[in-house]
Amino acid sequence: MATHIPPIRKQNPYLPFGDQKGTRFYGQDILSVKQFNRDDLEYIFGVAHEMAGMVRRIGTFDLLKGKILANLFYEPSTRTSASFTAAMERLGGSVIPINEVRYSSVSKGESLPDTIRTLEAYADVIVLRHPEVGSAAMAAKYARKPIINAGDGIGEHPTQALLDLFTIQEEMGHIDGLTITMLGDLRNGRTVHSLSRLLTLFDVCINYVSPDILRMPAEIIGEINDKNIPQKEFSDLETILPESDVLYVTRVQKERFATPEEYESVKGCYVITREIMQKAKEEMIVMHPLPRVGEIEMELDDDPRAAYFRQVEYGLYVRMALLASVLGKA
Ligand code: ASP
């Protein structure tokens, strides 16, 4: 006798069989760091710790066996897309990779909502990177399944900010009381937009160092101000480096400039060298969301303060924690 398959619900949220509906973030979208409070971070970092332990002990395990992730990237990505793929596969799930969007229906003019609604028929969760600010929130309006924002233009990159914060917590042992200095293209760097917002949950001081045309957007400075977080702007790193606990370096985002001349005028504006690092504290860390394109000399990689490749590994555990959480298995 044929088994009755219930009709696909149009209005109700997606509730897969057998998942833990009480799990924090179950079925939720991850769109902006603004959705998190300190308890949420404690929860995510706790799960990320467990993931780290499991990966180190057994490598790959079956927590998300049978689950499928659609990795939908409209902008180039190496790290974020590989990191989500590795996270899903370490948890025993599988991945539909869509990196070359120009070969897909999108290049035939398909709208983002149609692409999302098609992919969610195949997958349980969608990771989306798109060049437009607000694209992930728009996709989430149409999707019944969780959308994870993997970068919406110069908007936000919430999973990067979570892994950045996890890195700071793991490396420095705490976040409250630290001075965090962000350097480089603060106008176009979505990672610093998300990180500075997330840091407002803590008792920190934030410094911004950039050329004038790449300053942190006034809207974000205003938001941080509203949360009473001390912040200062500089054009020169050397004055502020000695008191920094974290130096967060970013690349100049070539693809976001209106003209090549504008890019050329700021390209290579800051380069972190061994010599510059002599002025930094012994107990501090240098971070970078990567890719680096000359902002940190390779000679610094052996310095124990160079945390950027460790940061990549922390990212795997945080993304495993997020996938397991939104799929109700954390
Ligand atoms: N990988 C980061 C991002 O996607 C940083 C960068 O591209 O510079 O925003």
The response to whether residue 289 sits with its C-beta less than 6 Å from ligand 1 reads yes
Q: SS3 letters for the chain? A: CCCCCCCCCCCCCCCCCCCCCCCCCCCCCECCHHHCCHHHHHHHHHHHHHHHHHHHHHCCCCCCCCCEEEEEECCCCCHHHHHHHHHHHHCCCEEEEECCHHHCHHHHCCCHHHHHHHHCCCCCEEEEEECCCCHHHHHHHHCCCCEEEEEECCCCCHHHHHHHHHHHHHHHCCCCCCEEEEECCCCCCHHHHHHHHHHCCCCCEEEEECCHHHCCCHHHHHHHHHCCCCEEEECCCCCCHHHCCEEEECCCCHHHCCCHHHHHHHCCCCCECHHHHCCCCCCCEEECCCCCCCCECHHHCCCCCECHHHHHHHHHHHHHHHHHHHCCCC
The response to whether residue 130 sits with its C-beta less than 6 Å from ligand 1 reads no
Model pLDDT, residue 141 = 93
Neighbours of 14 (CB within 10 A): 15
CATH dotted code for 17-157+314-326: 3.40.50.1370
Model pLDDT, residue 17 = 47
Mean pLDDT, 10 residues at a time, the chain of 330 residues: 55 49 85 97 97 97 97 92 98 93 64 92 96 92 96 95 98 98 97 98 98 97 98 96 98 93 93 98 98 96 98 98 95
Which ligand 1 atom sits closest to the C-alpha of 157?
A: 9
**Measured in angstroms, how far is the CA atom of residue 150 from the centroid of ligand 1?**
10
17-157+314-326 and 158-311 share one fold: yes
- Domain ranges in the chain are 17-157+314-326, 158-311
Which ligand 1 atom sits closest to the C-alpha of 191?
A: 9
Model pLDDT, residue 330 = 87
**Measured in angstroms, how far is the CA atom of residue 78 from the centroid of ligand 1?**
10
Model pLDDT, residue 5 = 60
Name, in order, each residue with C-beta under 8 angstroms of 274's C-beta and a sequence gap of 6 or more: 297, 299, 300, 303
Which ligand 1 atom sits closest to the C-alpha of 79?
A: 1
8 Å CB contact between 183 and 250? yes
CA distance 290 to 136: 22
Model pLDDT, residue 280 = 98
CATH dotted code for 158-311: 3.40.50.1370
Mutate which of 148, 154, 157, 185 for ligand 1 pocket (most atoms within 8 A of beta carbon): 157
Which ligand 1 atom sits closest to the C-alpha of 253?
A: 8
